[in-house]
Amino acid sequence: MNIVQLHEGVRFWLDLVGSSRFDPSDIDNALNFAAHDLVFDKYEGAKKSVEGDSFQRTQKVRDELSDLVMIADTNLPGSITIVETPDNTLIPVVSFPDGYHYLLCLAIYDAAGKRHNCWPLTYDRKNVIDRNPYRRPRIYPMSKQYYNEGYDGINITHVFPDTPSRVVFYYLSHPIPFNYGISRDSTYSFIVNENVIATEDTVYAGTTYLLGTKFAVLAGTSLTSGKIIDTFTESNLNEQLHEDLTQKAAINLLLTIKEFDKAKALYEQFVI
């Protein structure tokens, strides 16, 4: 869905319970909060709680969040940097990529260029590993490289005599915030090749565009009737999540005006 279709989706759910109307900026805010909640729920829900957790469920979450997965690599110009400390190797928080949200996995390379996966180290095990970095924290044999994310960055505990030659990690980025853009009519001078979206049935260059249709502005043409938006921003959240997103946003809006009964009624529509 594009930004107009998402807004219409939110309005649809609100109309289902007879709610009042909201400004586009309010719906943008509700969509942005809902996007962060949705990503958090998916990320936390993907963590294995029992041995043999469903591959199908985990893979589904990976597919849904795949558009937000990014890579940071010390070999890439302008990417992360590492600092060697007396106790470990540190990826300082100041070098984290813009939009960094959750760390997914991390690997380091030794002087010979061999890759070593690192395993998360919980705070209650950190002192044990500091005293004996060769002790594994789980019953299965695993690599002896660990990481622990703190206020100063990502601390990596390894057994190499030298600083790792390369560090790579995959992370989940923040969704790009939604912005509905600016409404325009036939009095506006459009920019050639600019993408716009019809917010009602619109006639442009002899063609009728329905609500929610995106099209590009052509040279020497004009808007005959209807309205469009431009300068909008659309999120990079996977389209599979868009329906859930509109539902969560509608509930968020109802909660902001203290329509608790309507929010509950709408929620019950989704969980049945």
Q: pLDDT tens digits for the chain (272 residues)?
A: 999 999 999 999 998 888 778 999 999 999 999 999 999 888 876 655 545 555 555 677 778 888 898 999 998 877 888 888 777 888 999 889 888 988 888 999 988 888 888 888 765 555 544 544 444 444 445 457 888 888 889 988 887 878 888 999 989 899 999 999 999 998 888 888 899 999 999 999 889 999 999 999 988 888 889 999 999 998 889 888 999 999 999 999 999 988 889 889 888 887 65
- Contact indicator for 105, 170 with CB cutoff of 8 Å: yes
In a domain, 35, yes or no: no
* End residue of a domain, out of 173, 194, 217: 173
Domain boundaries, position 153: 68-173
* Of the candidates 145, 166, 225, 212, the residue with the CA atom closest to the CA atom of residue 9: 212
- Measure the N-to-C terminal CA separation of the chain; round to a whole number of Å: 24
Number of domains, the chain: 2
If asked whether residues 192 and 214 sit together in one domain, one would say yes
Angle formed by the axes of helices 3-16 and 260-271, nearest 10°: 110
Do the Cβ atoms of 179 and 203 come closer than 8 Å?
no
Where does residue 147 fall: left (phi above 0), alpha (psi -120 to 50 degrees), or beta otherwise? Answer: beta
pTM of this structure: 0.79
- Which one, of 178, 234, 247, 266, lies nearest residue 38 by Cα? 247
Same domain, 144 and 200: no
Quote the pLDDT of residue 211.
94
Q: Of 90, 87, 95, 117, whose CA–CA distance to 104 is shortest?
A: 117
Q: Are residues 135 and 196 in the same domain?
A: no
Do 220 and 188 share a domain, yes or no? yes
